[in-house]
């Protein structure tokens, strides 16, 4: 009787052995969950890359149709009596809609729209008009899957237009980069090569300081050095907050500051000159689509040259003072780009 009991006892786990097994399981769980998070982020980044590829394809199809690329910001100019105009500030995303499988929405925008309050003309309504229903549509293809869920119910965009290595964005004629407000270029105008020139990229919903001083336009590096102590980051109108708005704050980025740094609007909050950076919720950088349609990841550590130098004048030519990143933003400045 005693022998049998002893054998049954010896065949089980001791408390020490049980604790060891529990510790091993806990370790495996601790190793497993970070791997799951990493794989999920990798999947989100791939989806974001696919979104940008579709943007690039849409831009090329638009070019095939109209023989120019769209302006990043334009529309019907306002006047003293027309409160329903687009205020010359519709994003280029609006005219890209039919090339991004959003034909129905574009058809609605391109026709007059009557509401109980007023009748909007075709392509009318300023992008901030609260009564114009199309501007309140959320378009999933405009939102990077890595964006926080709290931001994804907004009519926002993660994908915006590159305006080159400039800070005086509204003074360009012709553009230093591929896009500038009210300006149109052809692919044949991209003399640096379509594989060396950025067309669009992604931005974070946020990271914008407003009403910054004029000196930032001459020394963009000051945006990083000074602005966090001078202006709050929680301004309600931040980056990408309205996909239909073609203002610099919500709809553009420049190739001056490195990715995932702060942006600075000078003398205002929306359609003003300033230093607007690429950004994403992907670790280590952000993605861009080049003019040849390929998507590349731009590291936060990319060479940005000397950010204390004056930018090249908006209407001038010459190599960018802002390193490889600045060179990727220009379309005809003759830089030789090797690695980034």
* Confidence bin at 294 (pLDDT 50/70/90): very high
What average pLDDT score do residues 191-218 get? Answer: 90
Q: Judge whether residue 194 has pLDDT over 90.
A: yes
Average pLDDT, the chain: 85
Cα separation, 200 vs 169, whole angstroms: 15
Q: Tell me: the pLDDT tens digits for 211-241?
A: 899 999 999 999 988 855 444 444 444 788 8
* Confidence bin at 15 (pLDDT 50/70/90): confident
Tokens coding 328 = 């990727």
Cα separation, 125 vs 83, whole angstroms: 8
What average pLDDT score do residues 315-320 get? Answer: 85
What average pLDDT score do residues 59-79 get? Answer: 89
> 106-113 long-range CB contacts below 8 Å, 24 or more apart?
108/134, 109/134
The winner for highest mean pLDDT among 51-65, 209-223, 264-278, 322-336 is 51-65
What are the Cα distances from residue 251, in Å, to 26, 81, 237, 270, 282?
46, 27, 12, 9, 19
Which residue matches tokens 């994908």?
A: 159
Q: Judge whether residue 126 has pLDDT over 60.
A: yes
Cα separation, 257 vs 279, whole angstroms: 10
How many other C-beta atoms lie within 10 A of the C-beta of residue 54?
18
Say if CB 201 and CB 56 are below 8 A apart.
no
Cα separation, 79 vs 62, whole angstroms: 29
175 vs 76, more confident: 175
Q: Tell me: the pLDDT tens digits for 167-181?
A: 999 988 889 999 999
Quick one: what percent of the chain has pLDDT higher than 70? 84
pLDDT at 201: 97
Q: Any idea where the domains of the chain sit in the sequence?
A: 50-329
259 vs 124, more confident: 259
What does DSSP say about strands 208-212 and 198-202: parallel, antiparallel, or unpaired?
unpaired
């Amino acid at each position: 009787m005693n022998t049998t009991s002893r054998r049954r006892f010896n065949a089980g786990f001791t408390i020490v052995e049980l604790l060891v097994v529990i510790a091993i399981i806990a370790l495996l769980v601790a190793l497993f969950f970070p791997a799951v998070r990493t794989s999920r982020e990798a999947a989100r980044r791939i989806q974001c890359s696919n979104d940008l590829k579709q943007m690039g394809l849409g831009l090329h199809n638009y070019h095939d149709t109209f023989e120019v690329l769209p302006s990043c910001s334009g529309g019907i100019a306002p006047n003293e009596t027309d409160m329903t105009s687009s205020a010359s500030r519709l994003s280029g995303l609006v005219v890209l809609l039919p090339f991004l499988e959003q034909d129905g929405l574009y058809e609605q925008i391109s026709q007059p729209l009557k509401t109980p309050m007023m009748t909007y003309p075709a392509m009318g309504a300023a992008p901030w008009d609260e009564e114009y229903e199309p501007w309140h549509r959320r378009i999933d293809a405009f939102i990077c899957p890595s964006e926080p869920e709290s931001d994804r119910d907004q009519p926002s965009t993660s994908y915006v237009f590159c305006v080159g290595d400039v800070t005086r964005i509204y003074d360009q004629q012709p553009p230093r980069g591929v896009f500038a407000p009210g300006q149109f270029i052809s692919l044949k105008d991209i003399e640096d090569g379509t594989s060396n020139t950025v067309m669009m990229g992604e931005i974070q919903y946020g990271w914008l300081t407003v009403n910054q001083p004029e000196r930032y336009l001459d020394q963009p590096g000051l945006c990083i050095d000074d602005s966090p102590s001078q202006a709050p980051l929680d301004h309600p109108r931040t980056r990408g907050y309205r996909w239909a708005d073609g203002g610099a704050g919500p709809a553009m980025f420049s190739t001056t500051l490195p990715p995932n740094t702060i942006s600075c609007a000078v003398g205002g909050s929306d359609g003003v000159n300033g230093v607007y950076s690429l950004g994403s919720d992907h670790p280590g950088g952000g993605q861009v689509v080049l003019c040849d349609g390929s998507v590349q990841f731009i590291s936060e550590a990319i060479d940005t040259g000397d950010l204390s130098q004056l930018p090249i004048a908006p209407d001038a030519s010459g190599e960018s003072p802002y390193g490889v990143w600045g060179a990727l933003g220009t379309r005809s400045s003759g830089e030789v780009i090797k690695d980034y």
